[in-house]
Structure 1
Amino acid sequence: MLAALLVTSCAGGEDKESAPAANPSSSAPHGYVEGAKEAAEQQSRLLLSDPGTGDTRVLDLITGKEHKVPRVAGGAELTTDGRFGYFHTSRSTQVLDSGSWMVDHGDHVHYYRAAIREVGKLPGGTGSQVRSDIAVTALTGEDGRVRLYRRAGLEDGKIPSPRTLPGTYAGAVVPYEEHLLAFSEEDGKTKPVVLDRKGKRVASLDEKCEEPRGDAVTRRGVVLGCADGALLVDESDGTFTAERIPYDEDVPEKERATEFRHRSGSDTLTALAGDSAVRVLDVTKREWTRVDTGPVVAANTAGEGSPLLALRDDGTLRGYDIGTGKEVAKTKPLLTGGQKKGAVGDGEDGDGGPVIEVDRSRAYVNDPAGKRVHEIDYNDDLRIARSFDVGIAPGLMVETGR
């Protein structure tokens, strides 16, 4: 799953909760977005899909209302950038506007809600990777070619004509600080490079990154997963730098961090380390920690002193103190019949599987076999705050509005 990005945008549709569209003017209040309603709190929604049937829902976590949306046949993977859901099928990537998002200005945040609507299809299927910032969405195909789409077009409810960049790149191309971060193969080495929005190289970074997999945008910069740990790429006054954050031990290939999960805005990342442990990367401290959890299906954390959340294969959600590795909380089984990793798929066979989505106050765990989603208060000993019966097997789930 890609890390969710904080994006600015506007929605052109309306629903019962949306403000009437109006013409913006010089007297429009700060934060005004035409066609959307600004709210005082985060407007979280869950995008849910059954990979077997294609049935898809949007669950509004503010109202508790479930919205039916068109089926997504053959959906094998679902990712998000904080507003849009990207349903990756074998032939294309379908885009759904969830109608909820946030805008982070650093010292304050704006929250918005608007209509839920289909946007269209991007080329490229399950091997494609999508990353976004406030201006562009980058689609990196299996062949390494990159197409850039204007965010304004997606926000208007349509797929704009893309700009296809010259050359090919290894791994996902990540928009960052009005540029693009990419991996280039040179002299037998994989190194990060910085491109402008037309695809012209403007900088090459000194550090190499063998076998790049996984990335996350944090307030400290972009974290890129490598065979020997991670690179942290940052920008200051137009200059990009890369800093290595190596593992503190020799790590077997099967235990490397290859997909990061974290709360949007947090600098604490999690990644499965094989079948029985989780690696936690504190970006601020430049420090890796391994937590032995036992057989684990999914993991995440809110960071900043919150527990590591690990979903075990017996269906229980457990909380761990990241510093000591000690288990501090445990739920009853949340998954119908338990869940062994890969039993309903790990995203590679198109069946989806349980994940943990985390925001500022709650975590969400999907139970595909039980056709429900559990809301967890991770600040209250993993108390089950709510459970939603969604009527479909939600093997794919992401949270928007963050």
Structure 2
Amino acid sequence: MTIRRNVTPWASAALVLTALLTTSCAGEKRDAAHPDARGPSATPHGYVEGAQETAEQQSRLLLNDPGSGNTRVLDLVTGKVHRTAAVKDAVRLTTDGRFGYLHAPGGTHVLDGGAWMVDHGDHVHYYSAATRDVGELPVGSRAQIRSDAAVTAVTDENGRTVLHDRGKLEKGQIVTSLAVRGTYTGAVVPYEEHLLAFANRGGTTELVVLDRKGEHVASPDVACEAPLGDAVTRRGVILGCADGALLVRKRGGAFTAEKIPYGKRVPERERATAFRQRPGSDTLTAPAGDSAVWVLDVTEREWKHVDTGPVVAANTAGEGSPLLVLETDGALHGYDIGTGERTARTEPLLTAEKQDRSDGTAPVIEVDRSRAYVNDPEGRKVFEIDYNDGLRIARSFDLDVEPVLMAETGR
């Protein structure tokens, strides 16, 4: 693989962990693989067995070519590529920040990308370890998988949900902890030591809260027509509905659900049904039909409709960053979210033939705190974009596979 650089390496712009640490973490910058650094009975704060704690975000890209099955992990700090088990005929690649899930008709392959972060609220820990093929989940390509620190919830196409022990998964084992009774519409989302789900009751889809034993413990008394799409933010969980979204939070020990309506009637084909964001960000994006993008500011409880060119993919880092839209001209465009005006445009990164994929495997835009990434399957490249510098192409990675599917971990 060849890395083409236009600027100083990406790692030099990464956040320094010590700038984020509180006093409780200060003085404990030690190799996370050596718990005895302070004595035989002391375990350093943030210690994770088998992992190296680092001072910088350890972003990695998971890449797959469904046709050949070739799968790679690209380390964005070192530029090295790791080979993993081949997974043919995958139709989707999703991630929970550490694990990649390659959804294929015959099952879902679990890949440990070997990079992750732990957010303690007032500071963050970054970790790296070896990549690892964990195994197969016996669910088809339409399964929906959501995780938190304790469990991974896998909901199949029939609405049945199984919980897997997250700690075991991190050790390379797929262990079922509970088969949740009943069926639910859409993804079951772990949140605040509970599960958020939509139950069909008398023809109405209602939000319910389950405990980790699968028992109903709360019903926030809110309905959601045609639920589709979800995202976890610092403000709570966003759940997409036909008339807008629900913001679900836990406050004072109780769960509340607040509606964030579009404010106007939106045709079905223009609804936000698949959210993209920088992980943890309170600004979400979703296609609004063929030539526009929805931006949901969760903090302000406000939807914005940005008219663009024909949309292939969209994302944003939020917090004053531009809306990034890959359009059918093959270029990446930047838009001011407040005004809707286009502020920047790259040269064409992909030709129309390269990104016109009707099978659902169109290129994506992955975003972290300083860079965005766009995959070019036929060109066998990934482009790294500095979105804070006029969409400058900072690096391009030449690969030995066609990166049709891409997801970023380590964030």
Deviates more, 1:309-318 or 1:158-167: 158-167
Answer yes or no: is the 8 Å Cα contact 1:21–1:36 preserved in 2: no
Structure 2: gaps spanning 5 or more residues? 1-30
Change in 2 beyond 3 A, CA 1:324/1:339: farther
Percent of pairs with identical residues: 67
Instruction: Give the counterpart of 1:308 among 323, 326, 350.
Output: 323
Distance 1:391 1:340, change over 3 A: closer
Write the letter of the residue equivalent to 1:157. Answer: G
Aligned to 1:285: 300
Q: Which of 78, 88, 91 is the equivalent residue of 1:76? A: 91
Structure 2 match to 1:368:
377
Residue 325 of structure 1 corresponds to 340
The partner residue of 2:283 within 268, 275, 292 is: 268
**1:397 alignment partner AA:** M
1:221 to 219, 236, 239: 236
Equivalent residue runs for 1:87-98 within 5 Å: 87-98=102-113
1:391 CA displacement: 1.5
CA distance, structure 2, for counterparts of residue 125 and residue 23 of structure 1: 44
Q: How big is the shift at 1:70?
A: 1.0
CA deviation map 1:29-77 (0-9, x unaligned): 1111111111111000000000111100000000000111110112111
Q: Which one of 187, 195, 202 corresponds to residue 180 of structure 1? A: 195
Structure 1 stretches of 4+ moved >3 Å: 18-26
Matches within 5 A, 1:197-236: 197-236=212-251
- C-alpha displacement of 1:339: 5.0
Quickly say closer, same or farther: Cα 1:19–1:26, change in 2 above 3 A.
closer
Aligned equivalent of 2:127: 112
SS of 1:110 mapped into structure 2: strand
Q: CA RMSD in A?
A: 1.4
Partner of 1:245: 260
Counterpart Cα distance in 2 of 1:21 and 1:43: 19
Alignment CA distance shift 1:395-1:345 (3 Å): farther
Q: 1:386 aligns with which of 395, 406, 409?
A: 395
Q: How does 1:348-363 map to 2 (within 5 A)?
A: 352-363=361-372
Amino acid at match of 1:353: A
Please say if residues 100 and 114 of structure 1, whose CA atoms lie closer than 8 Å, have aligned partners that are also in contact: yes
**Amino acid aligned to 1:334:** L
SS of the aligned residue for 2:217 comes to strand
Give the drift of 1:344: 2.4
Q: Please, which of 107, 110, 115 is the counterpart of residue 100 of structure 1? A: 115
Give the deviation of 1:210 after TM superposition.
0.5
* Structure 2 counterpart of 1:166, from 166, 175, 181: 181
**Structure 2 CA distance for partners of 1:355 and 1:346, relative to 1, 3 Å:** farther
Distance 1:149 1:385 in 2: 39
Alpha-carbon contact 1:353-1:368 (below 8 Å) kept: no
Corresponding residue SS for 2:58:
coil
Count, aligned residues: 379
Q: 1:62 is paired with a residue of what secondary structure?
A: coil
Match of 1:4 in 2: none
Give the aligned residue type for 1:354. Answer: P
Change (3 A) 1:232 1:86: same
- The amino acid that maps onto 2:352 is G
Deviation, 1:330, is 0.5
* Long gaps (5+) in structure 1: 1-17
Moved more, 275-284 or 68-77: 68-77
Could you tell me whether the CA contact under 8 Å between 2:35 and 2:42 is conserved in 1? no
CA distance in 2: counterparts of 1:346 and 1:388, whole angstroms: 25
**Equivalent in 55, 58, 62 of residue 73 of structure 2:** 58
TM-score, structure 1 as length reference: 0.92
Q: 1:205 Cα shift?
A: 1.5
Once residues 316 and 133 of structure 2 are traced to their aligned partners in structure 1, the CA distance between those partners, rounded to angstroms, is 31
Matching residue of 1:338 = 352
The structure-2 alpha-carbon separation of the partners of 1:361 and 1:346, relative to structure 1 and needing over 3 Å to count, comes to farther
* 8 A contact 1:313–1:339 mirrored in 2: no
CA contact (8 A) 1:43 1:100 kept: yes
Rate the CA distance shift 1:243–1:339 in 2: closer, same or farther, 3 A: farther
- Does structure 2 conserve the Cα–Cα contact (< 8 Å) formed by 1:131 and 1:173? yes
C-alpha separation between the residues in 2 aligned to 1:20 and 1:137?
Answer: 25
Aligned partner of residue 269 in structure 2, secondary structure: helix
CA drift of 1:20 comes to 5.1
| TM-score, normalization by structure 2 | 0.90
Instruction: Specify whether residues 367 and 340 from structure 1 end up closer, same or farther in structure 2 by C-alpha distance, changes over 3 A only.
Output: closer
Paired residues of 1:85 and 1:95 also in contact (CA < 8 A) = yes
Aligned equivalents of 2:354, 2:150: Cα separation in 1: 40
Q: Please say if residues 332 and 345 of structure 2, whose CA atoms lie closer than 8 Å, have aligned partners that are also in contact.
A: yes
Q: Quick one: structure 1 residues 159 and 23, their matched pair in 2 at CA, closer, same or farther if it must change by over 3 Å?
A: farther
What is the alpha-carbon distance in structure 2 between the residues aligned to residue 90 and residue 257 of structure 1? 26
1:300 is displaced (CA, Å) by 0.1
